[in-house]
Amino acid sequence: MSGSSLRHMVAAVAAFGLLLTGMSACGTSGPQASSGDSGTLHVWVLQDAINPVQEAAATEFNKTSTVKVVIDKVGSDGYQDKLRVSMGSPNALDVFWNWGGGSIADYVNAGQLTDLGPTLAADPAFKQSFLPSVLDAGKVAGKQYGIPLRGMQPVVLFYNKDVFAKHNVKPPTTWADLLTLVDTFKAAGITPFALAGSQGWTELMWLEYLLDRIGGPKVFANIAAGKADAWKDPAVLTAAQNIRTLIDRGAFGTNYASVDYGAGGASTVFARGKAAMHLMGTWEFANQLTQQPDFAHNGLGYVAFPPVDGGTGDPADVVGNPTNYFSVSNSSKHKDAAIAFLKTMSSDAYVSELIKAGDVPVTTNAADKLSSNPNPDFATFQYQLVQKAPSFTLSWDQALTPAGGQTVVTNLQKLFNKQLSPQQYVDAVSSAK
């Protein structure tokens, strides 16, 4: 399973405990092609805890539309393979859920997706209903192919409040602070950072933030665009060298390469105070609510990733999963209805139900509704973090092609395991895009 699929599965499973019940339902439990029915609009979504919200939106839309929306719920196992098959068939689906970036680049290159930029330009209110940094992350080659209609999942720095209080220290606000904390906790026999190093996607977050803080988002944007020598930007090597400094300094302990992210892994080590901090996506909060609820409510702290000394990146930038997107197939017979349904899924009613179910939507009208989220303090922290972000860089293994992302992650594990030097890592990934 890919890192992106695993991350989504972790988030979805944890979110089941937050989902409110009692919503109306419609749709199917498996993927369907368009079937040629002139009055049917098939919308593929990943099967998860938010499906009742999506189905309720379809029910509402179908009350007044002559074209009826059918929600097709598709399991996460093999989702992208099933999507590829459907998009290549004579009766391709109409609308589908995706991660944006590299996950849809092949369809864009093949001319299979509708450019939604003109739709946004023709309806300024619709465009302005989304946080700009998140909307921008739905672009491929400068054009808008994804509309953001799920919750945000930025990567944040979590910390154990009890461990910090015991050692009379505060969360880092600078890179120097972070290194000092590494030394403090190591001396106390506590692993400074929990790390599920058996899975490379958990390590990728470190490189993503370090590169952003050192060189700014443009460095990776050039990499994702396939520009020549983009990987040779000095900021890439510096970021890799900082990772090696952390490893040599003992930031992740000694056995991180064998630690998993599942139950009993890095999250449990962190919650039990054996590790002081954990760099992870915001799904970590939902994960802790499920596995260690007392810790989630009382002992879990969270802050933004600190700036790096001498770096040119804006410390307000974020990385992670901006959200999930919906794209419209060029072969759809009902593009107007598809776009109308996407607008339904950005309405006040839809946003309110997402929030009640535990999501933090990426719409500008969400801020005043977050008090109804099951965990309003954390929801507000996430929202404000993203709202203020000049840039939100999509996780690299999703922004790049599947092959490029795999190259980056596989070699990053070798860097973390000291099988590659920082320079050797840069050389190994120099052709990934």
Tens-place pLDDT, residues 154-199: 999 999 999 999 999 999 999 999 999 999 999 999 999 999 999 9
- Res 19 pLDDT > 90: no
Rounded CA gap, 42 and 84, in Å? Answer: 15
Task: Kindly give, in sequence order, each residue whose CB lies less than 8 Å from that of residue 356, ignoring residues fewer than 6 positions away.
Answer: 20, 372, 373, 374
- 21-56 pLDDT, tens digit per residue, is 333 334 455 555 444 456 899 999 988 878 999 999
Rounded CA gap, 147 and 144, in Å? Answer: 8
Enumerate the H helices of 281-325 as residue ranges.
283-291, 293-298
Bridge-based pairing state of the strands 40-46 and 68-74:
parallel
Average pLDDT, the chain: 90
- Residue 12 banded pLDDT, cuts 50, 70, 90: very low
Asked if residues 129 and 365 have their Cβ atoms less than 8 Å apart, the reply is yes
Class of domain 153-319+401-429: alpha beta
Bridge-based pairing state of the strands 139-140 and 68-74:
unpaired
Mean pLDDT of 404-428: 97
Strand order in 40-46's β-sheet?
A: 68-74, 40-46, 95-98, 325-328, 147-148
Bridge-based pairing state of the strands 318-321 and 392-394:
parallel
What homologous superfamily does CATH list for 3-152+322-386? Periplasmic binding protein-like II (3.40.190.10)
In this structure, is the dihedral angle defined by the CA atoms of residues 251, 255, 256 and 260, taken in order, positive or negative?
negative
Task: Specify the pLDDT at position 28.
Answer: 54
In terms of Cα–Cα distance, which of 196, 309, 332, 203 is closest to 260? 196
Mean pLDDT of 136-143: 90
- 161-173 pLDDT, tens digit per residue, is 999 999 999 999 9
DSSP notation for 124-138: HHHHTTB-HHHHHTT
Task: Specify the pLDDT at position 3.
Answer: 52
Whole-prediction pTM value?
Answer: 0.84
User: Token match 């099988």: residue?
Assistant: 419
- 330-364 pLDDT, tens digit per residue, is 999 999 999 999 999 888 999 999 898 888 999 99
Parts of the chain belonging to CATH 3.40.190.10: 3-152+322-386, 153-319+401-429
Task: Specify the pLDDT at position 31.
Answer: 55
